[in-house]
């Protein structure tokens, strides 16, 4: 499938969870800026050292750096394979950077899917999230439990709380996101690419809503 999607939504809306299902069910490559940065931080690379203070404190990494990292990532991907971009773009500057990267290659986005979620649900999801310290897989203490408590199903790694999931950092991330969301959504609305989907309910229900949208738009044939 060669569908190219951007997944938008506040922290905890379920972008990563949905992108994981899109990868498994439809073969789209899940590319997450947050995961790329956390992996660089884990490996203590020079990029990891540069982005560490932004990521752990919940502030946005500067646009030029994000766009150049993503351009490098996307250029290395196999042509023709579809994409689910998770957490990128997050500002209008990044959205323009992505448009320029794609149009230089004669490509375009099919859609930007915004996952709508009420704030209390975002906070409940983020404060209960656990992630694998080795492979980055996501869990939740109530809604997505691992088979063995504290242990990753995928690789056996130890589950931990993400540094930016501390209560005060969650609040900060939600405030920062709100400031960026309005102009970013306006950008995709003006380009007729914005689709809003409810992110409430279980992960399978959210995926089914997205699948319905894909059927309506004829994207499943791509």
Catalog residues that contact Mg ion under the rule CB under 5 A. 16
| Candidate list 45, 68, 143, 208; residue touching ligand AP5; CB under 6 A | 143
In angstroms, the CA 81 to CA 68 distance is 21
The interface partner of residue 169, options being ligand AP5, Mg ion, none and the CB cut-off 5 to 8 Å by kind, is none
Binding residues for ligand AP5 restricted to 144-163, rule: CB under 6 A: 144
| Residue 154: Cβ within 10 Å count | 11
Does residue 92 interact with ligand AP5 by CB under 6 A?
no
| Candidate list 173, 187, 197, 210; residue touching ligand AP5; CB under 6 A | 173
Q: Is the peptide bond before 54 cis (omega within 30 degrees of 0)?
A: no
Those residues whose C-beta lies under 8 Å from the C-beta of residue 28, and which sit 6 or more positions away, are: 1, 3, 5, 19, 22, 81, 82, 83, 84
Does residue 203 interact with ligand AP5 by CB under 6 A?
yes
| Nearest approach, Cβ of residue 218 and ligand AP5 (Å) | 25
To the query of whether residue 173 is one of the catalytic residues in this protein, the response is yes
Binding residues for ligand AP5 restricted to 94-133, rule: CB under 6 A: 94, 125-126, 129
The strand pairing partners of 151, in sequence order, are 158
Helix (H) or strand (E) holding 159: strand 159-160
**204 vs 221 by CB, closer to ligand AP5:** 204
Tokens of residue 188, six digits: 């995709």
DSSP class of 165: G
Which residues would be at the binding site for ligand AP5 (CB under 6 A)?
9, 11-17, 33-34, 37, 54-55, 58-61, 66, 87-90, 94, 125-126, 129, 138-140, 143-144, 164, 173, 202-203, 206
């Amino acid at each position: 499938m060669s569908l190219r999607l951007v997944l938008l939504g506040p922290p905890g809306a379920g972008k990563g969870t949905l992108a994981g299902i899109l990868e498994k069910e439809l073969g789209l490559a899940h590319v997450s800026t947050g995961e790329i940065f956390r992996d660089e931080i884990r490996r203590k690379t020079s990029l990891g050292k540069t982005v560490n203070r932004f990521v752990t404190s919940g502030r946005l990494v500067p646009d030029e750096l994000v766009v150049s990292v993503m351009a490098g990532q996307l250029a290395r991907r196999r042509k023709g394979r579809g994409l689910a971009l998770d957490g990128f773009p997050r500002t209008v500057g990044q959205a323009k950077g992505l448009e320029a990267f794609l149009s230089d290659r004669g490509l375009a986005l099919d859609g930007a899917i915004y996952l709508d979620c009420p704030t209390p649900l975002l906070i409940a999801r983020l404060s209960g999230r656990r992630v694998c310290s080795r492979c980055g897989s996501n869990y939740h203490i109530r809604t997505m439990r691992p088979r063995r408590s504290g242990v990753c199903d995928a690789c056996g790694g130890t589950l931990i709380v993400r540094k930016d999931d501390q209560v005060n950092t969650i609040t900060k991330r939600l405030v920062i996101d709100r400031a960026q969301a309005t102009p970013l959504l306006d950008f995709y609305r003006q380009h007729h690419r914005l689709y809003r989907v409810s992110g409430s309910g279980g992960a399978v229900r959210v995926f089914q809503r997205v699948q319905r949208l894909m059927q309506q738009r004829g994207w499943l044939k791509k």
